[in-house]
Amino acid sequence: MTPADLASIYRQYIACLNPRDWSNLGRFVHDEVSHNGKRIGLAGYRQMLENDYASIPDLHFNIELLVAEPPCVASRLQFNCSPKARFLELDVDGRKVSFAENVFYAFKDGRIVEVRSVIDKAAIEAQLSTRPEGN
C-alpha cells in the first residue's frame, strides 16, 4: 500500500465518522483494534465513538495535518464543538471550545488496528478560564 492509498483510506474513515455511518465502521477499523494500549475491539471502538457523539452532539472531525507512512498514519484533528456537560474532567457545560487531537494509527490489512491519541486538554482549560460561564 502506498502512502497516498493509506491517506485515502484514512480520509474515507473520517468521512465515515462525521455522518455517524456506524454500519461501515468495520470497513476501516479492525476487529482487534486497541485504543491507547487497551484492546477494545470493533464493538468497543464503536461504543466509544457513540459515547463521544452523545456527549458532544456537534462533534465533527476536521483533518488539519495528515502524514501517511505505511503501515502508519499520523494526524492532527481539529475540533470546534460544544460538549454538553463534563469533558475530560472539565465543566464545559455546552460552551463552544476549540482543541486539537494528535492521533497515531497503525493499520493491518487496510484497517486501523491501533490508535494512540492525545487531546490538547490545556487548550480547553485556557478557554474556560478566560470566558465567563454561559458564553
**Residue 62 parent element (H or E):** strand 62-69
pLDDT in tens, the chain (135 residues): 999 999 999 999 999 999 999 999 999 999 999 999 999 999 999 999 999 999 999 999 999 999 999 999 999 999 999 999 888 888 888 899 999 999 999 999 999 999 999 999 999 999 998 755 555
How many other β-carbons are positioned within 10 Å of the β-carbon of residue 85? 11
Report pLDDT for 133: 53
Q: Helices in 26-120 by DSSP H: which ranges? A: 41-55
The residue among 55, 61, 118 whose CA lies nearest residue 87 is 55
Report pLDDT for 132: 58
Q: Helices in 18-68 by DSSP H: which ranges? A: 41-55
Report pLDDT for 93: 87
CA–CA dist 94, 73 (Å, integer):
32
How many other β-carbons are positioned within 10 Å of the β-carbon of residue 99? 20
| Angstrom distances, CA of residue 61 to CA of 26, 75, 98, 100, 102 | 18, 11, 12, 10, 12
Report pLDDT for 96: 94
